[in-house]
Amino acid sequence: MSGKFITIEGIEGAGKSTCMAFLRQRIEQRGLAVVETREPGGTPLGEDLRALLLGHKHQGMSAEAELLLMFAARAEHLQQRIKPALARGDWVLCDRFTDATYAYQGAGRTLSAERVAQIEDWVQGPLRPDITLLLDIPVELGLERAGKRSAPDRFEAESLGFFRAVRQAYLDIAAAQPERVKRVDASLGLEQVQAQLAGFIDPLLAVAG
Ligand code: TMP
C-alpha cells in the first residue's frame, strides 16, 4: 500500500504541534511508518532557510524574496525527504506546506495567487497533499496562545490584519477544495479537536488496511 501525504495548516497558536503528535501516534498504531517533518525546514538547507525567514535579521525582506525562499526550501524538502518517503510507502506528516504560501505570501503579503500557482506547478509538478487538516481558530485566540510560548518570530510579529487575511485565505482554500482540505474547529477542547482529526484520518487508515 502506498503512503499518504498529510499536511497540517493554521495560523499561529492553532495547536499544530499537539495535533501532529496525535496524528503520528494514530498512524503508527496501525503499524505504518511515518515521516514527521515541517516547512519551512525538514532538510539541513531548509532549516537554514527557515532561520533566515523567521529570524529578525532581514526585517525588510521583499515579499518576492520571501516567496522564493519558501519554495527553495520546499524544492529541497521534496527532493530530499518527501518524495523518497512516499516512494518507500511511508506516510508523510508535514507541519505546513504550500497552502501556507497562498495564505501568508499570497493573502498576507498580497502577492497574486496566480504567481504562487505558477511556482507551485514548477516546483511540485502534480504532487499535492492527499489530505490537509486546517486547524481553524479566531485570530485573537491564536495569537494569545502563541504569545505565551516565546518571543515573536518575524511572522508572529505581524499585525492582526495580516493574520485575519491569512485565516480568511485558509478558509477560502478549504471552501474551494473541500475534498482535500478539512476544517477542524481548533478553538474547542483537546478531546473534541482530536475527535475531529480522527474522523478525517481514520477513513484513510481504513483503506490502508
Ligand atoms: P511555524 O511552522 O512554527 O508556525 O512557523 C513557520 C512560519 O512560516 C509561520 O509563521 C508561517 C510561515 N510560512 C509562510 O509564511 N509560508 C510558507 O509557505 C510556510 C511553509 C510557512
Ligand 1 centroid vs 174 CA: distance in angstroms?
18
Ligand 1 atom nearest to 53, measured from its CA:
8
Q: For residue 4, which of 128, 156, 110 has the smallest C-alpha distance?
A: 128
- Taking only the tens place, the pLDDT of each residue in 121-151 is 999 999 999 999 999 999 999 999 988 878 8
The span from the CA of 46 to the CA of 80, in Å, is 10
**What residue ranges line ligand 1, CB within 6 angstroms?**
12, 38-40, 54, 70, 95-96, 100-101, 104-105, 155
What spacing in Å lies between the alpha carbon of 38 and ligand 1's midpoint? 9
Tell me the average pLDDT of the chain.
96
Atom of ligand 1 nearest to the CA of 95: 2
Q: Which of 72, 65, 74, 79 is nearest to 99 (CA)?
A: 74
Q: Whose CA is nearest to atom 10 of ligand 1?
A: 155
Nearest CA, atom 16, ligand 1 = 101
Our CA dihedral for 54, 104, 191, 27, rounded to 10 degrees, sits at: -80
Residues 50-79 pLDDT 10s: 999 999 999 999 999 999 999 999 999 999
| Ligand 1 atom nearest residue 38's Cα | 2
The C-alpha cell of 86 is what? 512516499
Q: What is the 3-state secondary structure (H, E, C) of the chain?
A: CCCCEEEEECCCCCCHHHHHHHHHHHHHCCCCCEEEEECCCCCHHHHHHHHHHHCCCCCCCCHHHHHHHHHHHHHHHHHHHHHHHHHHCCEEEEECCHHHHHHHHHHHCCCCHHHHHHHHHHHHCCCCCCEEEEEECCHHHHHHHHHCCCCCCCCCCCCHHHHHHHHHHHHHHHHHCCCCEEEEECCCCHHHHHHHHHHHHHHHHHHCC
The predicted pLDDT at position 209 comes to: 61
Q: How far is the CA of 40 from the centre of ligand 1 (A)?
A: 6
C-alpha separations of 4 from 17, 32, 51, 100, 180 in Å:
19, 10, 28, 19, 12
Q: What domains can be seen in the chain, in order of their start residue?
A: 5-34+82-208 (3.40.50.300)
- Most ligand 1 atoms within 8 A of CB, residue of 8, 96, 124, 150 to mutate: 96
pLDDT 10s digits, 86-127: 999 999 999 999 999 999 999 999 999 999 999 999 999 999
How high is the pLDDT of residue 76? Answer: 98
How many angstroms does the Cα of residue 205 sit away from the middle of ligand 1?
27
**Per-residue pLDDT at 16 exceeds 90:** yes
